[in-house]
């Protein structure tokens, strides 16, 4: 696309030449050359700037794992002077390729760098933290600087939470194999100890359970030997089965309890259970069958008892 300044100058020169039919004045030639030069400069690619491409810090991680911190950058036409890692404003790692030793570690509470895990160059700088503890949570920042004369700085930061993540799915208790119309379903979901606390959610046939059917979530709290506060959560679902469709039709009902920590898919756990809601006519038939079975058992028991009594009398009579 032709720059607007060039277009204007060409338009003006065309109008002058056509209107006067005389050679262009010298001032117009200089103006045209200036417009061409300006357009060339505007079209030329700009000098590539220092840019921090990405920062990767675990949002939440189990205390038993290792935390991998990743920082990538583009230097453009600059030379890398240093890459520094900070926790809560305190520097704990530095990579300076122009100044030996190129790698330096600094003591910061809660930060232990895995020996031999760091890998830094002109494009990336990765470090791995081990022996995480309650003090390892905080803000982690990657800072990249170019060389003289500008020593331009760029940085990015992200928060990391170190916790105790659940290793097992939540436990569902209180469920019966079958219910009938107008019964009350009462079940409880419990998560194991974790830090932070798990948020529990009930689903009925993959739909979120209505709020009025839930009791307030209960969080018990304790503290482990490493200083982490641990929470055990429980949530009760109370459902009155009064939907008219269960009058004439039996259905399978699936309940699902989801334990979520900070909205992370990697920290989610869930359990499912199924039960049958018997239609009113099916529930009545089952009850009649049960009553018939009880009556038949009672009659059979009475007959056996009479036979035993008669045999006892005959035995006593024969001895006398």
pLDDT digits (tens, 9 = 90+) for 183-207: 999 999 999 999 999 999 999 999 9
User: Is pLDDT of 177 > 80?
Assistant: yes
Distance of CA 203 to the CA centre of its chain: 18
pLDDT tens profile 10-38: 444 443 444 444 555 666 555 665 555 55
Please name which of 164, 158, 105 lies closest in space to residue 132, comparing C-alpha atoms. Answer: 164
pLDDT band (50, 70, 90) for residue 306? low
Residue 19 gets the label, from left (phi > 0), alpha (psi -120 to 50) or beta, of alpha
pLDDT band (50, 70, 90) for residue 298? very low
User: Is pLDDT of 299 > 70?
Assistant: no
The Cα-based distances of 120 to 42, 69, 171 in angstroms read 36, 12, 45
pLDDT band (50, 70, 90) for residue 249? confident
**What's the pLDDT at 317?**
52
How would you classify the pairing of strands 184-190 and 207-208? unpaired
**What's the pLDDT at 300?**
52
Provide, rounded to the nearest whole percent, the portion of the chain with pLDDT above 70. 72
pLDDT (average), residues 277-285? 70
Q: How far apart are CA 268 and CA 290, in angstroms?
A: 43
Q: How far apart are CA 168 and CA 174, in angstroms?
A: 19
Task: Name the average pLDDT for the chain.
Answer: 82
Please name which of 258, 169, 251 lies closest in space to residue 207, comparing C-alpha atoms. Answer: 258
**Any idea what DSSP says for residue 206?**
T
Q: How far apart are CA 164 and CA 169, in angstroms?
A: 14
Provide, rounded to the nearest whole percent, the portion of the chain with pLDDT above 90. 59
pLDDT (average), residues 264-278? 93
Residues 6 or more apart in contact with residue 116 via CB below 8 angstroms: none
* Token pair for 262: 């900070």
**What's the pLDDT at 295?**
43
User: Is pLDDT of 303 > 80?
Assistant: no
User: Is pLDDT of 288 > 80?
Assistant: no
**What's the pLDDT at 280?**
80
Contact yes or no for 220/232 (Cβ under 8 A):
yes
**What's the pLDDT at 12?**
43
pLDDT band (50, 70, 90) for residue 77? confident
* Token pair for 318: 């024969």
Contact yes or no for 195/164 (Cβ under 8 A):
yes
Q: How far apart are CA 195 and CA 197, in angstroms?
A: 5
Q: Which residue has the tokens 């122009």?
A: 98
Contact yes or no for 107/87 (Cβ under 8 A):
no
Contact yes or no for 144/52 (Cβ under 8 A):
yes
Better-scored residue on pLDDT, 101 or 32? 101
Contact yes or no for 50/80 (Cβ under 8 A):
no
Give the containing element (helix H, strand E) for 308.
helix 280-319
């Amino acid at each position: 696309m032709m720059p607007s300044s060039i277009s204007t100058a060409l338009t003006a020169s065309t109008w002058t030449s056509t209107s006067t039919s005389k050679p262009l004045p010298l001032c117009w030639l200089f103006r045209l050359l200036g417009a061409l030069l300006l357009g060339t400069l505007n079209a030329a690619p700009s000098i590539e700037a220092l840019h921090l491409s990405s920062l990767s810090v675990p949002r939440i991680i189990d205390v038993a794992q290792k935390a991998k911190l990743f920082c990538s950058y583009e230097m453009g036409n600059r030379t890398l002077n240093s890459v520094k890692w900070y926790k809560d404003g305190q520097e704990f790692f530095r990579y300076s390729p122009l100044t030996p030793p190129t790698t330096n570690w600094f003591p910061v509470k809660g930060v232990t760098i895995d020996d031999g895990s760091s890998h830094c160059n002109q494009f990336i700088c990765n470090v791995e933290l081990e022996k995480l503890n309650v003090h390892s949570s905080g803000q982690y920042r990657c800072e990249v600087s170019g060389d003289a004369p500008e020593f331009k700085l760029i940085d990015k930061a992200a928060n990391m939470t170190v916790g105790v993540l659940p290793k097992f799915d939540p436990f569902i208790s209180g469920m019966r194999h079958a219910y009938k119309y107008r019964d009350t379903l009462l079940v409880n979901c419990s998560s194991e100890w974790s830090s932070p606390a798990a948020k529990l959610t009930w689903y009925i046939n993959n739909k979120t359970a209505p709020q009025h059917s839930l009791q307030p979530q209960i969080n018990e709290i304790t503290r482990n030997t490493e200083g982490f506060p641990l929470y055990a959560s429980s949530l009760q679902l109370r459902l009155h089965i009064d939907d008219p469709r269960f009058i004439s039709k039996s259905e399978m009902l699936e309940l699902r309890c989801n334990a979520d920590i900070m909205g992370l898919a990697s920290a989610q756990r869930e359990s499912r259970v199924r039960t049958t809601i018997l239609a009113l006519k099916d529930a009545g038939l089952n009850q009649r069958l049960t009553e018939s079975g009880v009556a038949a058992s009672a009659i059979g028991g009475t007959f056996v008892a009479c036979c035993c009594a008669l045999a006892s009398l005959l035995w006593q009579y024969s001895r006398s």
